[in-house]
Chain A
Amino acid sequence: MVYALLAAAIVFGLGALGAGIGNGLIFSKTVEGISRQPELRGTLQTTAFIGVGLVEALPIISLVLAFIFYGSAE
């Protein structure tokens, strides 16, 4: 019971930490690039979308896994 709850907390906590850092880096560089060269907005926003889509897949899946662990602990 306790280990399952601990697993749920660790899997979502570490996933969210990584996603926070990754998202911050991607969007800061994207906004910086767009404000320097607004004509490249289309390319930069597409690249940011692909990057954020990949970075965020992991914590979203880890959230669902944490939910499953939590359910198994009940």
Chain B
Amino acid sequence: MDDDLPSLMRKIVRTVFFFLSLGCIGWAVWPDWKPVFGGYLIGAAGSLLFTWHLAWKTARIAAMAAGGHRSRSGFGFLSRAAIALLAAVISVRTLHFSAPATVAGLFTAPLATLVLGFIASRRRAGGHSDDERGEKN
């Protein structure tokens, strides 16, 4: 079975960690911008958490569909929304970081999913051979 969700998830985690490290470098180099970089770091960490949760839920629902189980299962949207809200509350209310930077951080993992998923699907489509139908011989 061509199971490419774990490999896509690994790429997303790597990308978000890269942006997290950029945020840490920014925090260290420009101390005056600490509220911005701090908010971005917490938002990006929250986005990574809810993307992990989404990948786990998707794999679980797919396994249930493939196995023919008839149990009821939710998508876990409320859990993910609660993770994002928790990140925002910790960042804005508790640590007094920048709210727009936190929102930008929450966009990191979905944006990485979009770009990396698009690249992976393009690669998969390009990898299909038309030789079976004799069109490119």
Kindly list 8 other residue pairs between chains A and B, CB separation below 8 angstroms, not including A23-B77, A54-B110, A71-B93. A19-B77, A30-B62, A43-B4, A48-B62, A50-B118, A53-B110, A61-B84, A68-B92
Chain B residues packing against A (C-beta within 8 Å): 1-5, 8, 50-51, 54-55, 58-59, 61-63, 65-66, 68, 75, 77, 80-81, 84-85, 88-89, 92-93, 99, 102-103, 106-107, 109-111, 113-114, 117-118, 120-121, 124
**Complex Cα distance A23/B8, Å?**
20
Judge whether A42 and B113 touch: CB under 8 Å.
no
Query: In terms of DSSP, what is the predominant structure of the interface of chain B?
Result: helix
Instruction: Pull 6 A–B residue pairs with CB atoms less than 8 Å apart, ordered by A.
Output: A31-B65, A50-B113, A60-B106, A64-B88, A67-B88, A68-B88
Q: Is the CB of B110 within 8 A of A35?
A: no
| Closest A residue by C-beta to B75 | A23
A41 to B8, CA, bound (A): 15
Taking a contact as CB atoms under 8 Å apart, the answer to whether B58 and A59 are in contact is no
Which of B1, B88, B120 counts the most A-chain CB atoms under 10 A from its CB?
Answer: B88
